[in-house]
Structure 1
């Protein structure tokens, strides 16, 4: 047993183990997917307009993803779990309620 005046033991928690996996301040997979989609847009159409549109779309979407990651770093995983559980948990007050 620890005495009343004994100091508490401390265990270090390294930041690399507790932080979310982000790239450019947003979710890594979503940033890479957005970059891939804009690169495909640019190289399929091959006009100056598509280059400017692709860059504008990428900057806008990465900005939105950064806002999303700042609000909740795990928002993508939470949303995917919510979609997966939707058939299981009905939005009703009782399991015996008629639909």
Structure 2
């Protein structure tokens, strides 16, 4: 007899808010809030709202292309452009340093 276990969708779904990555939406909302409250004028409030709407639109399109694109991008910029074919001289291999 074979036992099957259900995999619930909520356990492996990405954390999205408004259809985009949560951290990026919250960061853009914080920037919009700082711009809107920092200026204390109608122009700064309108520009903050327009910035937030435009950023959520762009972030949603980015999330449709790849749900974790920001993490992939951060990992990409952390990698070196060149990896040598041999280990560094400080790595011990077999008890001896290269």
TM-score above 0.5, yes or no: yes
Q: Which runs of 5 or more structure 2 residues have no equivalent in the other structure?
A: 86-98
Match for residue 31 of structure 1 among 22, 25, 31: 25
- Asked if 1:54 corresponds to 2:24, the answer is no
Hey, what's the Cα distance between the residues in 2 that align with 1:80 and 1:53? Answer: 28
Q: Residues 40-97 of structure 1: CA distance to partner in whole angstroms, max 9, x if unpaired?
A: 0011111100111000010000000000001100111100000111x2x429xx85xx
Q: So what's the TM-score if we normalise by structure 2?
A: 0.79
1:78 is matched with 72
- Asked if 1:64 corresponds to 2:62, the answer is no
Q: Name the structure, 1 or 2, with higher relative contact order (CA <8 Å, separation 6+).
A: 1
Match for residue 19 of structure 1 among 13, 38, 54: 13
Q: Which runs of 5 or more structure 1 residues have no equivalent in the other structure?
A: 1-5
**Residue-pair matches, total:** 86
- Which runs of structure 1 show a deviation greater than 3 angstroms over 4 or more consecutive aligned residues? none
Hey, what's the Cα distance between the residues in 2 that align with 1:90 and 1:61? Answer: 34
Greater strand fraction, Structure 1 or Structure 2: 2
1:45 is matched with 39
